[in-house]
Amino acid sequence: MATIIPSPLEMGEVYQRLIMDTLASKENYVDGLIRVYNNDICEVIDNYNGSAFYEPSYVIARAYQNGGF
């Protein structure tokens, strides 16, 4: 069974959507990026053998806001 490894672009798209979906009204993009990348949810998303990476963006954003999957 072959493992399909997402490309850096695919990983970036997941994180870009998460940042944009959770950006506060007065928060700039750089602060949102730092906030998301310093969250423990990144370890779960980065494990592309699990299902989190492949979830729709609204599910990932809800998990982020709820503190995890």
Residue 64 · residue 39 · CB < 8 Å: yes
Model confidence pLDDT, tens digit, residues 17-36: 999 999 999 999 999 999 99
**Quick one: CA dihedral 25, 40, 44, 16, positive or negative?**
positive
In a domain, 9, yes or no: no
**Is residue 15 domain-resident?**
no
The count of domains in the chain is: 1
The pTM is what? 0.84
Tell me if 56 is assigned to some domain.
yes
pLDDT at 22: 95
Query: Does some domain include residue 14?
Result: no
Domain that holds residue 53: 21-66
